[in-house]
Amino acid sequence: MKRKENVVQALAVGLFLLSVYLLTYSGEFHSSDGQAMFAVTESLVRRGDYDINQLLWMGQQQGAYGLDGELYCHKGIATSLLSLPLAWLGLVVPFWGMVQTTLLFNAVITALTGALVYLYVNRLGYSASTSLILSLVFGLATLAWPYAKYFFSEPLASLGLLAAAYFSLRYRDIGQASDTLWAGTGLGLAVATRFANIITLPLFGLLLLAYIVTRKKGQGIRDKPLLPILAFALPLALTALLLGSYNYARYSNVLETGYLPQQTFSTPWLEGISGLLVSPGRGLFLYAPVLLVSLLAIPAFVKRHSLEAALALLVSTSYILLYGRWFFWHAGYAWGPRFLVPIVPFAVILMAPLMEKLSGKRWLAFATICLISVAIQILGLSVDFTPFQEGLLFRFRELRAFDPKIHFEFRFSPLVGQWALLRLENLDFAWVRTMGSPPRLQADWPVLISNVALVVATSLGLRRVFLREKREKHTRRKWGVPVLMSVLILGVTAFSLTRYKDDQRRSYQELLSYLEAHSQPRDAIIFNIPEDTTILQNHYKGHLPVYGLLETSAPVTPATAGLLDKLAAQHPGLWLIPSPTLSENGLDQHLRERGYQADDESFGELRLVLYAFPQKPLTRHMIGAIFGGTIVLEGYTLYALDESVRAGDVLYLDLYWQASTLVAEDYQVFVHLLGEDGQLWAQKDGPPWCPDARPTSSWQPGEQLTDRRGLLLPSDMPPGPYHLRVGLYRLSDGSRLLTAEGADGLDLGPFSVTTSE
């Protein structure tokens, strides 16, 4: 049996759902899961790597350390890989943020899943109106809607599983091996997204065999069953190769995924299954009451579509049994049963035979339960679930994190308590943001109005497409409406992303612009403000690796000290962004003791400090110059004294001081980079920096001290000869100490500077 595809109608459904998801999009992470998967994407798009060292402050919460000491995510790779195009756009488009652009991913994926629900139901033989209603029920009345805005892996797993089912169904009708190839691709995508989906492989395999047998009986000996089986197996084999290679590259073991030994299947089934299905905190039928209709429709669906019913019910049962046993069955902080999101489209499809019989009061009852389900989804997506669940622990001190009572008692349910959080300051929409001067929280009306208008426009487009469904003479023109809907979506999204990027984080914007202008390709960033990790990821347009550390005191821990020393050996420059809330920063102290502080800039409450590390030993030069008759410059080392240095690089300078007698005053040291014409190009003034940071008035006769300084050369300085002039001066009046020869400073050099290219 062949059936004409209603691709235009399905596309219109998906575009309408996407416009709704864009209106309720937030542009922020809601969990460490999302941050970890995005960190893989970020590493890939910035520098072709796959570590998550940006999140070292998380420890092994979302990954494990490889044999090379790098931190790797234990989540499936598919979400990180497929979101690369969006992340790349967020990186290269100057007025978009990388995080905000990438977080559009699940909105697109869920809209595609809604379109696929339409195609699947329609291919089963149901009318366009039934297919449309069920695709909208999936997209707006189930967990699909709130999870379209969260960066979890479940929406992509849902798309993969449904794609495997749909293309298997197409093979049943058309008999082309290309459909089984796509079915295997969908299943491989689901497995690469979350390895647990491997449990569905036998189910889809048996379904394919059943379809082959059915076709063979109907088509005779002309069928070649081996070809569709091989086509189905090929993408699965490639998926196994991808995952095995990924595991081996990280952990030198093709079977090692990074999950920790304590992460096991240990929950009693009664607790887990009842929690996933009916608990006030996580119950599927409470968070999507419309799915109760699916239970009523099962007998009719089984009668009309026995094989498809078996697949839907077995996939759903497998999920419930698997995650009902998982030690973290509730998925931590989440809205409803997150782990069951991939089976939602199968549950919705089960309603199809019942939908075609609804009329009168039954139709009114169905519409009512749909509206209740939509209201529940709006509650979930309007307010981030984390503040409410963290607030429970604050209000009820007897509770511990993820206490079973939180999930099984109505008084702790978000369905009851989250209504109280529906206020402007708690709304989880990107168009509610800090704006104006002075900055305050308010609605971004241009963005809100344009997105509401987009929903109206796409709903009109959807209506027009379905009204013209039977007018075959307009087939060519049908594509015009989806194309127009797509153009409107792209335009409004581009405009919205530009507005979202301007988030009033002026200090970060200025700091990162300076960093991008002055950093070198082999440098690295050390970021010591974990709570602002997303801000850095969103605004930074460069390609340097980022190491996110959590250090709150000095000295640093031995593990951190070892990491810093390793980084100093690998990177000539380390750009430190220390926490502005710490009075004593151990990272700053450790790096300063071992490297050369070449730059220190302030941007509002933020600091950006460059520590440089020479890549080869420096040569010591002895001079014995005496300043003011009391302080001797015994010698110095200067990287680039006998060779050229590039503009934008760091000059490394060690000054070896000794007090010949007691020093009566505190002096400042100046280091000035001068051209042949005497023009000042760079300088480093300040008290002599020594390990104990003592002023000159405390120096003892005969005591020797090493003053270590780095000088960041301007990237725009012209090539040619230069020299350094060093000396000391009084801070009170700026008068310089003279040498024994009567000079007010000593010239070191000359050396040549070449272009930075």
pLDDT digits (tens, 9 = 90+) for 587-630: 988 998 888 889 999 999 999 999 998 877 777 888 889 998 88
Angle at the Cα of 518 (from 515 to 524), degrees rounded to 5?
60
361 found inside a domain: no
Q: Can you tell me the distance from the alpha carbon of 568 to that of 612, in angstroms, rounded to the nearest whole number?
A: 8
Q: Does 607 share its domain with 641?
A: no
108 found inside a domain: no
3-state class of 657 per DSSP?
strand
- The tokens for 751 are 């050396």
Low-confidence ranges of the chain (pLDDT < 50): 1-2, 220-221, 473-475
Q: Does 530 share its domain with 642?
A: no
Cis amide prior to 146 (ω within 30 degrees): no
Q: Does 512 share its domain with 594?
A: yes
Q: Does 652 share its domain with 549?
A: no
Q: What is the pLDDT of residue 710?
A: 87
Q: What is the DSSP string of 273-312?
A: HHHHHH-TTT-HHHH-GGGHHHHHHHHHHHHH-HHHHHHH
712 found inside a domain: yes
- The tokens for 439 are 């900055």
Q: What is the DSSP string of 99-136?
A: HHHHTTHHHHHHHHHHHHHHHHHHHTT--HHHHHHHHH
128, 287, 320 from 275: Cα distances, Å: 36, 12, 10
Q: Does 607 share its domain with 692?
A: no
Contacts of 414 (CB under 8 A, 6+ apart): 281, 335, 379, 380, 385, 388, 389
Q: Can you tell me the distance from the alpha carbon of 723 to that of 640, in angstroms, rounded to the nearest whole number?
A: 10
Burial class (CB in 10 A: 0-12, 13-18, 19+), 53: buried
Q: Does 688 share its domain with 626?
A: yes
596 found inside a domain: yes
Q: Does 624 share its domain with 608?
A: no
Nearest to 576 by CA among 553, 601, 604: 601
Q: What is the pLDDT of residue 218?
A: 56
End of a domain among 558, 582, 612?
612
Q: Does 730 share its domain with 642?
A: yes
- Contact present, 602 and 614 (Cβ < 8 Å): no
Contacts of 480 (CB under 8 A, 6+ apart): none
User: Do the strands 667-675 and 704-712 form a parallel or antiparallel pair, or are they unpaired?
Assistant: unpaired
Tell me the angle at which helices 7-23 and 445-467 cross, rounded to the nearest 10 degrees: 160
Positive or negative, the CA dihedral 521, 527, 530, 535 is: negative
236 found inside a domain: no
Domain carrying residue 558 = 506-612
| Domain of residue 688, CATH code | 2.60.40.770
* Number of domains, the chain: 2
Q: Does 639 share its domain with 586?
A: no
End of a domain among 612, 630, 662?
612
578 found inside a domain: yes
655 found inside a domain: yes
Q: Does 737 share its domain with 631?
A: yes
Nearest to 698 by CA among 673, 667, 729: 667
- The tokens for 213 are 């047998």
User: Do the strands 631-638 and 620-627 form a parallel or antiparallel pair, or are they unpaired?
Assistant: antiparallel
150, 300, 314, 382 from 105: Cα distances, Å: 9, 36, 29, 19
Q: What is the pLDDT of residue 473?
A: 47
For the beta carbon of residue 578, count every other beta carbon within 10 angstroms.
21
Q: Can you tell me the distance from the alpha carbon of 674 to that of 748, in angstroms, rounded to the nearest whole number?
A: 10
End of a domain among 612, 632, 661?
612
Q: What is the DSSP string of 541-600?
A: -S---EEE----SSSPPHHHHHHHHHHHHH-SEEEEE--TT-SS-HHHHHHHHHSEEEEE
Rg (CA), the chain: 32
Q: Does 645 share its domain with 744?
A: yes
671 found inside a domain: yes
pLDDT digits (tens, 9 = 90+) for 82-109: 999 999 999 999 999 999 999 999 999 9
Please report how many Cα atoms fall inside a 13 Å half-sphere around the Cα of residue 25, on the Cβ side.
30
Question: H or E element: which one contains 315?
Answer: helix 306-325
- Contact present, 756 and 712 (Cβ < 8 Å): no
Nearest to 582 by CA among 554, 541, 542: 554
3-state class of 195 per DSSP?
helix
Q: Does 645 share its domain with 590?
A: no
